[in-house]
Amino acid sequence: MRRVDPKHYTTVYYLTDATGFKEFKESWGKVLEPRLSRIVKEIPSVEGLRVLDIGCGRGELVYWAARNGANDVLGIDYSRHAIHLANQARKHYPKNIRKKVRFELRDAKKIDFARGSFDLIIMTEILEHLYPEEQEVILRKISNILSKNGLLFIHTAPSRWFNDFTYRFWCYPLSTALVTVNNFFTGSNYNSLEKYENIRTASHRIMHVNEPDYLSLKNLFEKSGFHGKLRSTNVTVSKPALSWKDTLFNSIVYLNPLSYYPPFNIFWGNDFYSVLKKV
């Protein structure tokens, strides 16, 4: 079965390229980078739960779940470099956190835990790294190992439709016009957006083999026997609201907050998240 070769997910990648590397190096995952800090607000309470983080990377969310009351947290990843970094971070946490946390080198397509092993399963920014056939296999596996009332939390970015259409033909041209006018009349140097050609990095071109869109996600969830509302945060693209100009910019360029919900997020949402239940 096709997959992105795990050799690309190296220590160098996790410590110089993958989002949040600066915060990880400074705090060993205790401080979440701004994007992840926004995303975790949408994750259901982990208090007292058995949690599985699929594609855990450096382990930030595993430690976050343990710190927020989960009883047992397992992080799996098929990159041995990721698991090594996650285990390196362990010594920087108190004993009560360490005893609740485990990391295993596993390909998610081959998980074989007992039925009902987990109450909450987390997949953040993983689906875009998986080919369609991989996604289907993993969601079937997840359905088997979730407890009766268990939940699956998924966050994925970027949206293919947003990048290839909305950003290219709406966000970038509109941003350029607004910033040009603002800087001309105010003499300030308010920053515009990256050109469309530059929004995907070299790593994205290798790893993002299947950037989703609103309809592909809905079809995937329904086909796999899950249901839940699809929403967006646009935290992956919105400017930090440091002034009224940032808020106005986000509302015009990204249609925030309308873009958080259907039907606007179908094209204006650059990320999608959902709390899913088994049908």
Model confidence over 134-157: pLDDT tens digits? 999 999 999 999 999 999 999 999
Residues 170 and 81 in one domain: no
Determine, yes or no, domain membership for 239.
yes
Distance CA 124, CA 126 (A): 6
Determine, yes or no, domain membership for 56.
yes
> Once rounded to an integer, what is the mean pLDDT over residues 17-21?
96
Determine, yes or no, domain membership for 93.
yes
Q: Pull the structure tokens for residue 141.
A: 């596996």
Distance CA 220, CA 124 (A): 16
Residues 107 and 173 in one domain: no
Q: Classify each residue of 40-72 as buried b or exposed e, where b means 16 or more C-beta atoms within 10 Å of its C-beta.
A: beebeebeebbbbbbbbbbbbbbbbbbbeebeb
Residues 64 and 126 in one domain: yes
Determine, yes or no, domain membership for 205.
no
Q: Is the pLDDT score of 191 beyond 90? A: no
DSSP letter (8 states) at residue 262: T
Distance CA 270, CA 54 (A): 22
Domain that holds residue 76: 6-156
Band (182; pLDDT cuts 50, 70, 90): confident
Residues 119 and 224 in one domain: no
Determine, yes or no, domain membership for 34.
yes
pTM value?
0.95
Residues 19 and 145 in one domain: yes
Q: Is the pLDDT score of 51 beyond 90? A: yes
Band (16; pLDDT cuts 50, 70, 90): very high
Report the domain count for the chain: 2
Residues 146 and 172 in one domain: no
pLDDT in tens, 111-136: 999 999 999 999 999 999 999 999 99
> Once rounded to an integer, what is the mean pLDDT over residues 51-80?
98
Q: What is the 3-state secondary structure (H, E, C) of 20-56?
A: CHHHHHHHCCCCCCHHHHHHHHHCCCCCCCEEEEECC
CATH number, position 89: 3.40.50.150
